[in-house]
Amino acid sequence: MSVSNLLAQFGDKYLLALLTTWKLTALAFVLAFAIGIVITIMRVCPIKPLRLAGDFYVQVFRNIPGAALLIILVYALPYLNLVWSYYICVLIATSLLPAAFCSEYLMAGMNTIDVGQIEAARSLGMTFFQTILNVVLPQALRSTVLQMTNLLVATMLTTALASQVPLKPTDLTGIVSYINTHAVGGVTAFLISALLYCGTAVVIGQLGNLIDRKVRILR
Amino acid sequence: MSTVNTSIRDALYEAPGPKARKRIAIATAVSLAVLAVLICLIVRQFYITGQLNAKYWSLFTKFSTWKFLGHGLAGTLEVALAAGVVAFVAGLLLMLGRISNSKILRGISMALIEFSRGVPTLLFIYFFFLIAPQFGLKLPAFWKISTPVALSAAGVVAEVFRSGVNAVPKGQTEAALSLGMRGCSVFFKIVFPQAFRYVIPSLISELVIVLKDTTFAYVVNYADLMQNAKVLISNYDALLSVYLVAAVIYILINYLLNKVSVAIARRMHVSSTMIMQ
């Protein structure tokens, strides 16, 4: 099927699919970032149980396959009377996974900060939270822009999980399987989705480079 | 305080005084209580929905259950290994193209790397599952899952290799060239062996991603750990417990792989990058 035929027949569906993928990616990334920061603060705080809980979270969600997590959320948790809509399940899965990596990147970013800075903050009488929020996190964020950009792309790729549940409107991966079961979309349907993913990834990458150059701390 | 090995995690607070110790003790107790309540709530939820019932868990005392899960795990590992090898070779070729002197080859490799890194594994899987058969390309289930997983890892592998090559000091190439070695043998005898050493930990981390991606094997009906878990579920009518156990197996294997990666990185004094996709 030619590109023009395909777009005439499924063009509006493609647009919806692209918007679904973008929206899921943005929502999941914001949630992942928030969870990631909370987990990171837990992992460096002086309270041992919280540290361990934070480490445990990261190990679990770094290592569980996305498909396994989504299957558990969608099919297993209803047995515990925890029933969520497909959309919520996808959103939970696609934000819990990147959150673990977000925390790992922030921890690595923190280690680039000179210990002297923390000692200076402490001797100024700053509390743990003041040090974390005013000295450590801002610098950790500024030195992890590139990792976070990669994380945003990875989050977008993870949202392809949405194609595994019946979602309306479907996402960019789901639409390829939709078209191929309703018509013979062939390789064109695949290429359009793939190029939309890639295009988004390239734009995100360029923006990340731009931001990185602006905020990176030269040491 | 500022010893060489002080990480930020230790530097954020010094040895606490009596007041701070008291506060930390209270906070520790409170957080323990909160965590305990959380765990109790989860166990309670299992209990009131009847999921703690022995009939859902007794299957794990049988040898046949573990044998069957073991078969599935073997299937998972086979696919992951095959995909890993293909990704390794494809990534190596892409990297060679990416750093070659030919402008056209560089451009093509760069585009392929971007494509591999920017497209979700599932889309590659759908390509081999739904679209390739329309062109008469009918692969066995094993390759229907391992090829797409490999293709989506190849781009990252290529970039990992390239970072390794870039980490080898330029002076070594110059020295080898001035000794009269040809460009090709400089690369394969001097640069690449060292670059490879640098990237072993990152390659192992990438294997974790490959292993995770093989979970999609159910799309193409290949008998991996997840698929065998599904069969167990229909045999014993125990969904939650079986999926939880399968997830724990995945987590443990990937956890071990990550540990190996970090241990090797520490021994060889190189960094192990964390990659998500």
- DSSP 8-state assignment for residue B50: T
Q: Which residue has the higher pLDDT, B4 or A90?
A: A90
CA gap A204, A28 in Å, rounded: 15
Q: CB of B254 within 8 Å of any CB in chain A?
A: yes
CA gap A122, A130 in Å, rounded: 9
Q: In which residue are the tokens 């190189």 written?
A: B270
- Selecting from A68, A76, A200 the residue whose C-beta is nearest the C-beta of B215 gives A68
CA distance A76 to chain B (A): 5
Question: Closest Cα partner for A161 from B215, B254, B128?
Answer: B215
Q: Do A150 and B35 make contact, defined as CB atoms within 8 angstroms?
A: no
Query: What is the per-residue pLDDT across B41-92, written as a single tens digit (0 to 9) for each?
Result: 999 999 998 888 888 888 888 898 999 999 999 999 999 999 999 999 999 9
Q: Quick one: closest CA in B to A100, which residue?
A: B276
CA distance B212 to chain A (A): 5
CA gap A96, A29 in Å, rounded: 10
- Selecting from A75, A79, A128 the residue whose C-beta is nearest the C-beta of B13 gives A128
Cis peptide before A169 (omega within 30 of 0): yes
CA gap B3, B6 in Å, rounded: 6
Contact residues, chain A, for B134 at CB < 8 Å: 180, 184, 186
Contacts of B239 (CB under 8 A, 6+ apart): A75, A76, A79, B233
CA gap A93, A32 in Å, rounded: 10
Query: What letters, b where the CB count within 10 A reaches 16 and e where it falls short, cover A70-106?
Result: bbbbbbbbebeeeeeebeebbbbbbbbbbbbbbbbbb
pLDDT of residue A168: 83
Provide the ipTM.
0.91
DSSP A48-64: HHHHHHHHHHHHHHHHS
CA gap A112, B99 in Å, rounded: 30
Contact residues, chain B, for A202 at CB < 8 Å: 114, 118
pLDDT of residue A9: 76
Query: What is the per-residue pLDDT across B205-214, written as a single tens digit (0 to 9) for each?
Result: 999 999 999 9
Q: Do A202 and B9 make contact, defined as CB atoms within 8 angstroms?
A: no
- Selecting from B115, B119, B131 the residue whose C-beta is nearest the C-beta of A180 gives B131
Model pTM score: 0.91
Q: In which residue are the tokens 């030919």 written?
A: B102
Rg over alpha carbons for chain B, rounded to the nearest Å, is 25
